[in-house]
Amino acid sequence: MSKITIIGAGSAVFAFEIITDLLLTPALETGVIALVDIDSQRLELAHRIAEKAIAATGREGKWRVEASTDRKTVLPGTDYLINTIEVAGLANVRHDFDIPMKYGVNQCIGDTIGPGGIFKALRTLPAWIDILRDTEQLAPGALVMNYTNPMSLTCLAGLRASTLPIVGLCHSIQNTAQQLAEYLGVPHHELKYRAAGINHLAWLVELTRDGEDMYPLLREKAKDPAIYEQDPVRFEMMLHLGAFVTESSGHTSEYTAYFRKRPDLIDKYMRPEYLGETGFYANNWPRWRQESDEWIGRMLRDEEPLTLERGPEYASYIVEAMETDKPTVIYGNVLNTHLITNLPQDGVVEVRCLVDRDGIQPTHFGALPTQLAALDAGHMAVHDLVSTAVLEGNREAAFYALMLDPLTAAVCSPAEIRQMFDEMSRVQAPYLPDWMQG
């Protein structure tokens, strides 16, 4: 029997997905799911939907649920810790967008990079490190799976602050492979690929079907407006840099200096929603959060059927592989121990990993094409600086990180960046550590 503890379980929809994935894994016959959130009302919602999922899957008496607002009461005995925390997001999602926009930094999502992503990290990482310290004391044998963004930053700070094994999990690579199969008009299972890089800026450097390179066909498909319009920024990146990137056009437009620095470029390349819409996340996330809770409520009241299908998220497959020694392959965010040879070796990269009873085993990739590695390395410098800021209480390192952000630097002067940084620090002061009060 394994115990899986979900920290930040008040994001009940995602917790529900992970819970149902575990319950629908035949090899995992028994277990304990522990739910933790500081919001007691949202925790209760997650607790109730977990109990309902256990009943709906016929696992009563085999799986049970614990729930607490105090993680220390449920951490003992934890085999797998899943981190999904959101720190003061509702209070700051507008600040993360509105203040940079005053300075001309136009964000679509702004939760993993740029001013919004950096300040989200500055709010999140101190709490994350506290969680890891409690886990080291109370569940020293736990494998930590992180889903919280900013992914690379959260993993890097955790690996530097803790001795626990940590892997960051995202769905961008497997989802991108599925999208490319649709663009190419080929069955997904026939498409083979090699991917590597950093989270949200990893690259499918090889794409084949029956040994044939699929990139020539993909470049031809990009000439079809019906296909190009589904992913304009990512197609532009492929056409000019030689490989398809693994996160949405909206995210990619923020990760580079190319697309959001002038109004004419925004008009030319941005499309609605996750394809680059200005303020898309800030304008919608509070409503999505409420709608998610309402959806869980409808399932609890039997006004909507439970969604019982094992999804593509990696967590249940990792638990299954480690508990049964049935090997599986994932893409994970891990420390770069000579895995990608031309990226910094003290940073976090996203590579193919083998998983079995011995845990997460990253595989060697080699060198990325230089132009792709250069884009990733710039972001890894930002990650290093933010991690250093949090671990050393160094406010200036946090400012240097914003100075190096590609989109911010494409739009603002150093003095403007300093002014933006100071303004965001003042407005978000109640949610930032003391050393950020400058």
For the question of residue 338 being annotated catalytic, the response is no
β-bridge partners, 204: 195, 244
β-bridge partners, 169: 332
Distance of alpha carbon 164 from alpha carbon 144, whole angstroms: 7
Distance of alpha carbon 172 from alpha carbon 240, whole angstroms: 21
Q: Which two tokens stand for residue 1?
A: 């029997």
Supply φ then ψ for residue 394, to 5 degrees: -110, 100
Q: Which of 47, 171, 364, 383 is catalytic?
A: 171
Distance of alpha carbon 81 from alpha carbon 302, whole angstroms: 30
- The SS3 of residue 433 is coil
Supply φ then ψ for residue 153, to 5 degrees: -65, -45
Residue 343 half-sphere exposure toward CB, CA atoms < 13 A? 37
Furthest C-alpha separation in the chain: 62
Burial of 245 per CB tally in 10 Å (0-12, 13-18, 19+): buried
Distance of alpha carbon 192 from alpha carbon 64, whole angstroms: 39
Distance of alpha carbon 362 from alpha carbon 196, whole angstroms: 11
DSSP assignment of 133-148, as one string?
HHHHHH-TTPEEEE-P
**Distance (Å) of CA 432 to CA 57, 62, 87, 192:** 42, 42, 10, 44
Q: Provide the residue count of the chain.
A: 438
- What's the distance, CA 235 to chain centroid? 22
**Distance (Å) of CA 395 to CA 130, 346, 401:** 19, 21, 10
Catalytic residues: 171
